[in-house]
Amino acid sequence: MALSLEVSDLNHSIKLHNGTQLALIEALSLHIEAGEHIAIVGASGCGKSTLLSLLAGLTPVQSGQVTYRAKSQALNSSEILAHSGFVFQQFHLLPELNALENVALPLQLRGHRDAAQQATHWLTQMGLEQRLTHNVTQLSGGEQQRVAIARALCVRPQVLFADEPTGNLDETTAEHVIDLMLSGARQSGTSLLLVTHDMALAKRVDKAFRLSHGRLMLCQ
Ligand SMILES: Nc1ncnc2c1ncn2[C@@H]1O[C@H](COP(=O)(O)OP(=O)(O)OP(=O)(O)O)[C@@H](O)[C@H]1O
């Protein structure tokens, strides 16, 4: 099931300590075709993570519409969540589980009997074959990031939301992980929405947008 996204007239403001409202997103519109890969770039603090969270349904929409469709059928929020993968800045790994268990869990929850083998495959792809039984709290930031990416990709989500997916990685590892993420998403027909400061990554997706003054402009 390939999902397209239609965003219209989206607005989001936050309340500052002095009580005034700061508009982060203003009358924003966006269309993403099913299977399309897009990047959002922009200055630090301009609202990229907030926008991704709104698009993922993790932050309630204040005004405007965010609609995912499978063919012409609109999906409700629980259907969207069931078909989504997330790689966020706080990796949200389960600290009491090891790397293998963290990746295997969403597969087990979906009834995959070979969850451990699939998880091993994805972690090996991420260069973590020597870290399978490490508790995730014993892994470096970059290693945890790769576990989070493996966990998101292994269930072949229809939409993958990624916030700075290569932020903690050195250049060579970042390139390898990007290759895996983009090819994994292509193979599964996954729509990819990512936030990044990495222009090399932004250039590798179908469309890159700059968030500025609350709106998205297509990068040339
Ligand atoms: N829940 C919140 N309450 C108050 N302010 C918030 C909240 N969430 C975000 N902000 C503020 O909104 C602004 C935008 O934050 P956001 O994390 O979306 O920016 P960003 O473009 O992703 O930044 P960076 O590139 O530095 O990660 C920041 O000034 C941040 O402090």
Nearest CA to ligand 1 atom 8: 50
Q: Does residue 68 belong to any structural domain of this protein?
A: no
Nearest CA to ligand 1 atom 3: 14
Residue 73 lies in a domain: no
In a domain, residue 77? The reply is no
Q: If you take atom 23 of ligand 1, which residue's CA is the nearest one?
A: 45
Using CB distances shorter than 6 Å, the residues near ligand 1 are 14, 24, 42, 44-50
Q: What domain range is 106 assigned to?
A: 36-61+82-218
Reported as a single tens digit per residue, the pLDDT across 58-116 is 899 999 999 999 887 888 878 887 888 888 877 688 999 999 999 999 999 989 999 99
The set of residues, in sequence order, having a beta carbon less than 8 Å from that of 78 and lying 6+ positions away, is none
Query: Whose Cα sits closest to atom 2 in ligand 1?
Result: 14
Q: What is the pLDDT of residues 89-102, one digit of tens each?
A: 776 889 999 999 99
Number of domains comprising the chain: 1
CA of 50 to the centre of ligand 1 (A): 6
Q: What distance in angstroms lies between residue 58's CA and the mean position of ligand 1's atoms?
A: 14
The pLDDT score that the predictor gives to residue 71 is: 83
Q: Per the domain annotation, does 21 fall within a domain?
A: no
> What gap in Å lies between CA 88 and CA 22, rounded to an integer?
24
The predicted pLDDT at position 104 comes to 96
Residue 4 lies in a domain: no
Most confident listed range (36-40, 58-62, 197-201): 36-40
Q: Which atom of ligand 1 is nearest to the CA of 42?
A: 21
C-alpha to C-alpha distance for 186 and 189, rounded to whole angstroms: 5
Nearby residues of 126 by Cβ (< 8 Å), 6 or more positions away: 146, 147, 149, 150, 177, 180
CATH classification of the domain holding 109: 3.40.50.300
